[in-house]
Structures are given as structure tokens and as C-alpha cells.
Amino acid sequence: MAGRLIELPPPRGPLSEELFAALEGPPGPSLGLPAVASPDPLGDEDLQLALYVAYELHYSGIAGVDEGWEWEPSLLAFRSKLERPFEEAVAELVPAAEGSELESVGAALQAIVAEDPGPPLSRYMETQGTLEQMLEQVVHRSAYQLKEADPHSWAIPRLTPAPKAALLEVQFDEYGGGSAERMHSALFATTMEGLGLDPSYGRYLDRWPAITLATVNLVTLFGLHRRRRGALVGHLAGFEMTSSIPNRRYGNALRRLGFGPEVTHFYDEHVEADAVHENIAAWDLAGGLAAVEPEVAADILFGARALLQVEARWAEHLLGAWEAGETSLRSPLVAAVA
Ligand SMILES: [Fe+2]
Ligand SMILES: [Fe+2]
């Protein structure tokens, strides 16, 4: 197996055009500062794609792109001009934490996920989603699931022993407990294969719309900035706490569509694992971090709320497209189902 390598997709506007043109040359000051004026940063195809590719330099090789771009000052300056409106747009979606919530971050997280603002996408898939819709859902999710756990690992060096131990307990399972085959990203690749999809990392980048890229850019933003370590931990806690039941439903959807355990394994594994992870993440990790660093407690709740808000918009996008009889991807999927 070769290392991670993605291809530059076609640009979606002036920001991605400028960035991709520079990336095709040697690292240097060739990349100027962009003018970014976006009325809707989360739904902005050009902005989200440019930011995604700028971030991807930290995760993956890019065909034809010099690896020296990763820390090239002009790239970092360009990226930060994209990050600012995105970070501000996310902040607008998230109400400030209340003082009483900060007394018990674990309890506050439970209350936050109990009021998940998202539409019931997993319930829809379980009861009536078509095969085509399930394939689309999996293609969207592959943006994150093929690097599942990686963005949260950036928290490891930034945490003190108690929350770090809790994070590692979760991450050890996410990374397969020492087995490459049981790594959750590998289980997801197996699901994709079983559905006749291509599990290569980044294969569907051109098909992911802005809101799908935003779900991944959100956690990368939190992961790459130490100042957002609270939000990164809150994002993971929110993710783990909203995983078990939806994954049962996605597994049920696939069984209803006639698929067997090799395809549903990823989902079945998460029903079990995340019932455990949600408690570790809420109480030992998030609560543990808030106990040591109370100054980031509000940001922990911010991270969980930001996750739910962005995921809600993503789910609305899928259901809205399907209701209109359209594909939820940027171009329809032509996949031969095995
Ligand atoms: Fe997982
Ligand atoms: Fe998990």
C-alpha cells in the first residue's frame, strides 16, 4: 500500500484557482494574499475547497505538489485569510455557554447533545433511504471517515496527563487497538468496497460539496490551532456522544438494503464502541480538561455545539437535495454495486 496521495481537483472559483496554480510551482512567495468576501462561508464552494486543500497538505501528499508547501509562509498567510471568515461564521451559529453550564462540562455536554438541532438523517436512511442515497451518504462521509480520529490526535501533545490518558483510551480503539485491520478508517474502507465504491483516500474530493468539506475543515481548524484545544475536545465528545444510535440505524439501513456483516461491520462496531467512548469523552476527557484548564471550559462546549450545527446543515443539505429529486453530491455517482 502506498502512502496517502490525493489529486488536485478542478478549482471552484478564484481562491482555489489561485491556490492550485501556485501549488503546481515551487514553494515560495508566488502565492499572494487573497481577497475573501463570502456571504456564506460554510456553503462557499470555492472557499471551502481552497481551505480543504490547504489543510490537506498536513494529512496527505498531493500529486505534483512539492511537500515544502506545507509550512511555506505564503501558504500559511493565504490559509489564515480563509480561516477567519469560516471561524467567524461558525461562531455565529453557536450561542455563548452559560455560567451554570461550566460547573459541570460533562452534564452540559449531555444536555447539548440531547437537543441535537439536526434533522433525523439516520432515521430516514433506516426506514426509507434508497441504495443510491446510502451510497451518496457513504461518499460524503468518506471525507472524514477515511482519516477518522486523525484530526483529534492533534490534541494529544497539548493535554496534561488526566485528559490525555482519556483521549488515548478513545483513540486506541479508533486506531484498531493495535490492529491495522480493525482501525475504524480501515473498517470504513471495507464498507465502501463492499458497496462497490472506491475506498482510496480523497477519491471523491471533487464530488464533496462545500458543506461536506466544512464538516472536515471544522475539525481540522480546531486541531491545527492549539488555542482551540477546548473546541477540539468538545468536538470529539460531541461526535462520540451522537454516534451510537445513528450508527445502529445506518447498519439497519444497509441490512434492509440486503448487505451483510462485512459491509455493516463499521457501523456495528460503533454501536458498541461509542456507547463506551461517549462516557470517557464527556466525563474523563472533556470534564478532565475543564478541571485542569477551566479557562477552556466554554470552548469545549463551543466545539460540541459547532459540530452539531455544521452536521445539521450537512444533513439538511442531503435531505433537501433528495426531496428535490437531485443528487446531494456535486455530480451524480456512477457506481457499480458489487
Ligand atoms: Fe470510530
Ligand atoms: Fe468512537
Q: Which amino acid is at 100?
A: S
Please provide residue 61's backbone torsions phi and psi, each rounded to the nearest 5 degrees.
-75, 155
| Percent of residues, the chain, with pLDDT higher than 70 | 99
Q: Report CA(189)–ligand 1 centroid distance (Å).
A: 13
Q: What's the residue count for the chain?
A: 338
Longest alpha-carbon distance in the chain = 54
Centre of ligand 1 to C-alpha 222, Å, is 18
Ligand 2 center to 110 CA (angstroms): 16
Determine the pLDDT at residue 1: 61
Whole-number average pLDDT of the chain: 96
As beta bridge partners, residue 5 has: 61
What single DSSP character describes residue 283? I
Of the chain, the end-to-end C-alpha distance in Å amounts to 22
Residue 2: pLDDT band with limits 50, 70, 90: confident
User: Quick one: average pLDDT of 22-41?
Assistant: 95
Sign of dihedral through CA atoms 59, 92, 124, 132? negative
- Tens digits of residue pLDDT in 109-156: 999 999 988 889 999 999 999 999 999 999 999 999 999 999 999 999
Would the pTM count as exceeding 0.75?
yes
By the 10 Å C-beta count (0-12 exposed, 13-18 middle, 19+ buried), 242 is classed as: buried
Q: Which residues surround ligand 1, an ion (CB under 5 A)?
A: 174, 184
171 Cβ contact list (under 8 Å, min separation 6): 149, 152, 153, 156
Ligand nearest to the backbone CA of 244: 2
Cα 101 to middle of ligand 2, angstroms: 24
**SS3 of residue 5 by DSSP:** strand
CA of 251 from ligand 2 middle (Å) equals 16
Tell me which amino acid residue 225 is.
H
Q: Which ligand is nearest to the CA of 277?
A: 2
Q: What is the mean pLDDT of residues 251-278?
A: 96
Q: Is residue 338 pLDDT above 90, yes or no?
A: no
| CA 315 to ligand 1 center in whole angstroms | 19
Contact 299, 99 (CB under 8 A): no
Nearest ligand to the C-alpha atom of residue 145: 1
Distance 270 CA to ligand 1 centre (A): 6
Q: What is the pLDDT of residue 336?
A: 44
Instruction: Spell out which residues have Cβ within 5 A of ligand 2, the ion.
Output: 240, 274, 277
Q: Are 6 and 23 in contact (CB under 8 A)?
A: no
Q: How far is the CA of 252 from the centre of ligand 2 (A)?
A: 19
